[in-house]
Structure formats: structure tokens, C-alpha cells
Amino acid sequence: MSGDLQRVELDEGVLDEPVSPRTAETERRRRRWARGLVAGAAVVVGGLVVAQSVIDARERAVFEKLQAVPGVLSPIGDELAVAFEVASPWWLDFPGDRSTLLTVVWSDDGPRLRSTDAATGTLRWDVPLAPDAPRGDGRGAQVHCGSGVAGDRAVVACLDTDGRYEWDEADDLVVLPATYARVVVHAQDDGARLVAWDLEEPVDGIAVHEDQVFVLARDGEDVRLSAHDVATGEENWERTFLGAAREPSDGDPGNAWLSQGGGAVVVSGLRGDDRVVTYSGQVLPARTVSWGEADGPALFLSHGGASVEVLLDGVLGEEIEREPVPTSVDDGSLGRLVFTTSQGLSAWHPVTGERLWSWGAENSADVGPAAFDGALVLRGDVYAWGMSRVVAFDGEDGRELWSRAASPDDRMIRSVETDGRRLYVLSEDSVSSSSETAVEALTFAGRSEGQIRMPSGVIWTSRLGDQLWTRRDEGSDVLVVLR
């Protein structure tokens, strides 16, 4: 029956019979391959997880390091809300690690020195600052304070005086000379008054750097700057500028004032140029201060013409091209460098005056700003902005990385801030009189992550310390902290 189909019946026992050695080896190989495939996949997945965790850990470490850089904001989400309010201060400072807000506010019993938790708004202590000063609304009062150290204790030193300015019924300025002046020193931790020491001459103001208090006083037509030990009042050095005092006139009290930066104290409001004196007492050639971050490492000094000199930690560098560009955040990733703008952006070595790189608006793929108003240095890159655009550069060679216009396009950029995770472009309407601030989030690659939702009715938003601060309306007497 060769042409017929044959029927074969299988016994159950056939399935239980041993397979051939070749068949068994093939099956073992197949199973080993399957197990290897699964194990390999697990290794790959595990490797990816480990690699991602390493990347995440590195990013967290970088972020935590950036959080300690002056000017970097506390972390911001996609919405800002009112965290707390403080009375509008006559003076404020965020000393040390920026966890404390020190303010001087005016009350019915005169000026008061306050310490507030900068994270929660909780009042830590509140002490009278000048118990012998005249009462009133504080108009024309002299309020000068500064944070420093006395030994191993953080302190705040303030000027206590009854010298002030008033306006008579005809709204003319009247100078009321002081009958006393003293420096009072309070502890930052509990507000305790540690020491007070008297000043002999009419005082225009004081400034503080670490363990020194700088006192600016007038002696007839001369102006005297002296440095004192904050804890004892002992004079370390004094410098006199002959014939530098101005007379009061037309609503101008003629007073001089102090500022700090670049490792020096600057005396302004004199006849002629500013006077710059290093913290050790060295008097530098008379210059006009072009720009300097308050108590920052660099100060730009001008003596006319098209150049400026950079004072860096008390050392005067070579001349460079003006105009200076303020650097509000610098993490040190590019070493020491400063920026100027003239139809573009240039980076300079602040001491040697060497131009490191230069970028012109004509080199941009987009229409870049002709002049820049500020810059950030982060992780080896530079983020600079003008009125209408933000441009990112490779910090090593000035190569443009990206450029982005303000959004919406009818807005004017006020500043660019960062919390170490992304950039925040603060802008205002350039057409209307509205002063409400819009905040757009950008990645460091220039990609928009949308507008940050803001509480209604707040105006003039800007950075103070590591927070964004604002006001509720034009006539408000409080500052609002956003978080």
C-alpha cells in the first residue's frame, strides 16, 4: 500500500522515552543561550540604571555646589507664591550663608534693628538701634550699617547719631548737625549689644568689612576716612582728602558717602573724582567708579577716555576697553575674567588686560543686542543679556551657543537669574506703563520651559540674596518674598 496513507498511533510511553544525546545537547545550548540573553539584558538595564544614577548624583552635586555661589537663587518650581512679607527697610543685608535677613526699619520709637529667618520670614529678634535719636517718620535720618566679624562672632555695626536733614515749610533742605555720633555693635545671633564707641567729628557714614569699620567724617573743608577695629574702636589707619568737602546747596546736603568693592572702600560725593582706598589703607589714583558689585571682588575705575581699569581684590590691573558688563553670578569655572560691551561682548583677564575673546553682533545667526547689560558665568559657559535678547557663549573661546529673544517680543529684559538648574528671564512690558514682571524659564541649552506663574498684583520683581522679592503696589511699605 505504497500509495496509501499510513496511520500511526502513539503510545503515551513514547513521550517518556529518553531523547538522543544530540537532541539533549541542543536543548541545553538553547536554554543556556536564553539564560544568557536574559542575564545580558539585566546587565544592560542594570548598567543603564547605575549610569543614570551616577549622572543624577553628579548633577545633584553640581547643583548643590552652585547653590552656595553668591547670587544663585533658591530652587524655583513652575509657580511662585508669596512666602512672607517684611516691612520696607531702610537698610538690609544677607550676611554669611544668606540664611538670615538683617534690616533696619523705622517705628514710632525710632530705628530698630531686626533679624529675620530668610527662609520662613520668622522674626528672630528686634532691638532698638538709636534710643537717643529723634523720633518722627525718619525723613532725613542717617541709617548706615554693615555686617562683619568680631573675633569668632558675627556682628552688625551701625551708626547711631541725631544728625539729620529736614525740609522746612518752603520745602527747602535744612541740615541739622549732630550733637553726638557713635558706632554700636550688635551680635547677629541674638541681637545683644556688645560694644559702642564714640566718634568725635561730624560723620557722613560708615561701612564695614570683616573686622574693620570705616568712618567717613568732615573736618571743615577736608574729608577724613578712618579704619577702626569693630570690637574696640581702636583706629587702624586714617587718610585725609584736603579740600574735598562740598557745601550744601539747592537741596543737596553736600554729604559724601561710602561704597565697597574690588577689595577697597570708595569715597564718593566729593569735589572732583572719587577716592579709592584699599582695605589696608593704600590710596589709589583718583578715579571715577564706573561699576562695581556691592562688596564684590571687582571694581571698574575710569579716568576718562575709552578705557577702564579693574580693581580686583585690592590689586589694580591694566587698562581695558569700556563699558563694563556686571557679572551677577560667577561660579569660578572660567577662572578670573571680566566682561565689557561695545557693539558686542569681550572677555578680559582683569590683571594683565589681555583680551581673551570677542564676539560681535554681526557674527550672530540672530540679531543680537548691540550692548549687553549683564552676564552670568556657569559651568564654563557665559549667559549675557541686553534689552531684548539672551545670548549664550562658550566661555573658553566666545563661540555663540544659542540666542533667544525676550518672550513675548514686546517685553524688555530686566535681568537673567538662575537657581543652578535653569535660567529665569525677568522682563517687563516695554510699551505700557505696567511694571508687572514676567518670568520665563529656560534650560541651559536655551529651550523655553514656559512662563513661571506669578501671584497677581506684584510689581518690580528682582533678586535680593537668594530669593525673588517684589512689591504689591507702588505705594506699598512692605517687601514680598516669592518662593
pLDDT of residue 58: 84
Q: Which residues does residue 299 pair with via DSSP β-bridges, in sequence order?
A: 292, 311
Comparing CA positions, the residue from 6, 48, 19, 77 lying closest to residue 468 is 77
pLDDT of residue 253: 82
pLDDT of residue 12: 41
**For the chain, what is the mean pLDDT?**
86
pLDDT of residue 217: 94
Q: Which residues does residue 110 pair with via DSSP β-bridges, in sequence order?
A: 107
pLDDT of residue 474: 62
Tally Cβ neighbours within 10 Å of residue 425. 26
Determine the Cα angle at 458 with ends 436 and 372, to 5°: 40
Tally Cβ neighbours within 10 Å of residue 274. 18
Separation of alpha carbons 201 and 2, rounded Å: 134
Percent of the chain with pLDDT over 70: 84
Q: Give the CA-trace dihedral at 371, 374, 378, 381, to 10 degrees.
A: 0
Pairing of strands 153-161, 181-187: antiparallel
Q: Give per-residue pLDDT as tens, 449-459.
A: 999 999 988 88
pLDDT of residue 222: 95
Q: Give per-residue pLDDT as tens, 121-132.
A: 999 999 999 887
Percent of the chain with pLDDT over 90: 59
Q: Can you give the residue ranges of every domain in the chain?
A: 323-452
Look up residue 106 and give its three cell numbers: 523705622
Give the per-residue SS3 of the chain: CCCCCCCCCCCHHHHCCCCCHHHHHHHHHHHHHHHHHHHHHHHHHHHHHHHHHHHHHHHHHHHHHHHCCCCCCCCCCCECCEEEEEECCCEEECCCCCCEEEEEEEECCEEEEEEEECCCCCEEEEEECCCCCCCCCCCCECCCEEEEEECCEEEEEEEEECCEEEECCCCCEEEECCCCEEEEEEECCCCCEEEEEECCCCEEEEEEECCEEEEEEEECCEEEEEEEECCCCCEEEEEEECCCCCCCECCECCCCEEEEECCEEEEECCCCCEEEEECCCCECCCEEEEEECCCCCEEEEECCCCEEEEEECCEEEEEEECCEECEEEECCCCCCCEEECCCEEEEECCCCCCEEEEEEHHHCCCCCCCCCCEEEEECCEEEEECCCEEEEEECCCCCEEEEEECCCCCEEEEEEEECCCCEEEEEEECCCCCCCCEEEEECCCCCEEEECECCCCCEEEEEECCEEEEECCCCCCEEEEEC
Q: Give per-residue pLDDT as tens, 293-329.
A: 777 788 999 877 788 999 999 999 999 988 899 999 9
pLDDT of residue 8: 39
In the predicted model, is pLDDT for residue 1 greater than 50? no
pLDDT of residue 449: 97
Check if the beta carbon of residue 212 is closer than 8 Å to that of residue 148: yes
As a whole number of Å, the end-to-end CA separation of the chain is: 94
pLDDT of residue 38: 56
Tally Cβ neighbours within 10 Å of residue 106. 21
In the predicted model, is pLDDT for residue 93 greater than 90? yes
Tally Cβ neighbours within 10 Å of residue 371. 15
Q: Give per-residue pLDDT as tens, 222-241.
A: 999 999 999 999 999 999 99
Q: Give per-residue pLDDT as tens, 156-176.
A: 999 999 888 887 888 788 888
Which amino acid would we find at residue 363? Answer: N
Phi, psi at 407, each rounded to 5°: -130, 125
Q: Which residues does residue 184 pair with via DSSP β-bridges, in sequence order?
A: 158, 196
Average pLDDT of the residues in 9-38 = 53
Residue with cell 562740598: 246
The class of domain 323-452 in CATH terms is: mainly beta
Check if the beta carbon of residue 266 is closer than 8 Å to that of residue 291: no
- Under the banding of pLDDT at 50, 70 and 90, the label for residue 460 is confident
- Under the banding of pLDDT at 50, 70 and 90, the label for residue 332 is very high
Full-model pTM: 0.84
Q: Give per-residue pLDDT as tens, 238-265.
A: 999 999 999 877 777 888 999 999 999 9
pLDDT of residue 15: 37
Residue with cell 562658550: 394
Please, how many CA atoms are within 13 Å of residue 298, restricted to the half-sphere of its CB? 23
Tally Cβ neighbours within 10 Å of residue 138. 17
pLDDT of residue 27: 65
